[in-house]
Amino acid sequence: MTSNVKDENTVSLRYILKTFRRKKWLFIGLFLVVALTGLLFTFLKTPLYRSSSIIRLEESFYDDNLYKYFPVDAKSLNVYPPEMDSENLENENLIESSRYLESDEILNAVLDKLNLGITRDDLNKAIDIFLDRDNNSLEIVVYYSDPDTSYQIDYELVGMFIENKKEDNLEIVKALDLKIKSRIEEIKEEINSLDSNGRNPLEFEANFNSLNAILIDLEEIKYNLEQNKDLLIDRVEILQQPGLPGDPFNTEYVKNILIIIFTAFVVGMIAVFMPGVFKKSK
């Protein structure tokens, strides 16, 4: 029994050596083709430089009355009533901000500012946005063939996003302030126009109390808006400033060469022995 196993192993080893000697030029040819192709691709590949930054969005702001009377404006400022699910709301805001970073408005502004001579699609391909829901933050990663340009794109993206967000929020706050003041004046006029003569005292009191309650809410909203104006406008914090890239990230030559040699060897061995395996299986 042992003798038969030994004979089978010996035959297999002889078969392997015989097959390899017979097809050595096939192995050498494929090895050289795969290796040279891989090396050519590695050394001719355009180096890419990576610049990254991280921005954190402020947590949701809570104001029950603001959302109650002006829900559209409140939502635009990321203001919600306390009972709403803050985690889902912040995730939605994070996703919306990520889309805004890759929007035509931002990318076209970057192209105009830097005068890169590339298309908007090319710029979009050079940018990756990663969401960190746990920290309510966005990581901006830029890959470009020039380190200074990679940094400039990253820098301008962060700057324009923050600047545009501030300007948008400022306009919303200004418009909201005017709406609140106008609504306060309307309520005051309605209160002054109430006439108790000839009316049911209970009905008059109910109308007065209802309007007065609205007036108190509006005055509170106006006060809170004035006190928290800066917090509502500036809702983005930079956790990591854009940095100048170091070495290109995609030119690890030693690692790539080892992978290419291993791949070329495997391809050559498969070409030499795979036909024999198929014949045996038949």
Looking at residue 90, its pLDDT comes to 85
**Same domain, residue pair 192 and 98:** yes
pLDDT digits (tens, 9 = 90+) for 94-150: 999 999 999 988 999 999 988 888 888 889 989 999 999 989 999 999 999 889 999
In a domain, 233, yes or no: yes
Confidence tier at 45 by pLDDT (50, 70, 90) = low
Amino acid letter, 71: P
Q: What's the pLDDT score for residue 1? A: 47
Quote the CA–CA distance of 131 and 91 in Å, as a whole number.
9
Higher pLDDT, 187 or 281: 187
Positive or negative: CA dihedral 237, 240, 245, 251:
negative
Give pLDDT, residue 257. 73
The count of domains in the chain is 2
Name every residue whose Cβ is closer than 8 Å to that of residue 168 and which is 6 or more positions away in sequence.
Answer: 76
Verify that 13 and 137 share a domain, yes or no.
no
Does residue 168 belong to any structural domain of this protein?
A: yes
In this predicted structure, the answer to whether residue 11 has a pLDDT above a threshold of 50 is no
What does each C-alpha distance from 37 to 1, 30, 105, 167, 260 come to in angstroms?
49, 10, 41, 52, 9
**Is 246 among the domain residues?**
no
Q: Are residues 107 and 25 in the same domain?
A: no
Tell me if 203 is assigned to some domain.
yes
The residue count of the chain comes to: 282
107 and 157 share one domain: yes
Residues 276 and 198 occupy one common structural domain: no
Residue 198, pLDDT above cutoff 80: no
Write out pLDDT tens, residues 154-177. Answer: 999 999 999 999 999 999 999 999
The answer on 262 and 171 residing in a single domain is: no
Give the model's pLDDT for residue 118.
84
Q: Tell me, yes or no, whether 232 and 110 share the same domain.
A: yes
* Alpha-carbon span 47 to 68, nearest angstrom: 54
Is 236 a domain residue? yes
Domain range holding 266? 2-45+251-281
Q: Which residue has the higher pLDDT, 212 or 202?
A: 212
Q: Is the pLDDT of residue 9 over 60?
A: no
Q: Is 45 left (phi over 0), alpha (psi -120 to 50) or beta?
A: beta
Domain match, 142 and 162 both: yes
Residues 78 and 98 grouped into a single domain: yes
- How confident is the model at residue 261, as a pLDDT? 83
DSSP state of 132: E
Q: How far apart are CA 213 and CA 27, in angstroms?
A: 89
Same domain, 73 and 114: yes
Angle of the 24-44 helix axis to the 2-22 helix axis, nearest 10: 60
Q: Is residue 76 part of a domain?
A: yes
Residues 271 and 143 in one domain: no
Radius of gyration from C-alpha coordinates of the chain: 34
Distance CA 150, CA 192 (A): 63
Tell me the C-alpha distance between 156 and 168, whole Å. Answer: 18
Q: Residue 279: which pLDDT band, with cuts at 50, 70 and 90?
A: low
Choose among 268, 267, 257: nearest CA to 28.
Answer: 268
Residue 8 pLDDT greater than 60, yes or no: no
Q: Which of 91-100, 169-178, 181-190, 240-249 has the lowest mean pLDDT?
A: 240-249
Reference 77, options 236, 237, 226, 235; nearest CA is 235
Which one has a higher pLDDT value, 268 or 221? 221
50-61: pLDDT as tens digits: 999 999 998 888
Is 51 within 8 Å of 154 (Cβ atoms)?
Answer: yes
The pLDDT value recorded for residue 115 is 85
CA dist., res. 172 & res. 181, Å (int): 14
In a domain, 257, yes or no: yes
pLDDT in tens, 267-278: 878 877 776 544
Classify burial at 79, counting beta carbons within 10 Å of its beta carbon; exposed 0-12, middle 13-18, buried 19 or more.
buried
Q: For residue 259, tell me if it sits in a domain.
A: yes
Give kind and range of the element (H or E) at residue 51: strand 49-57
Residues 199, 105 share a domain: yes
Whole-number pLDDT of residue 238 = 93
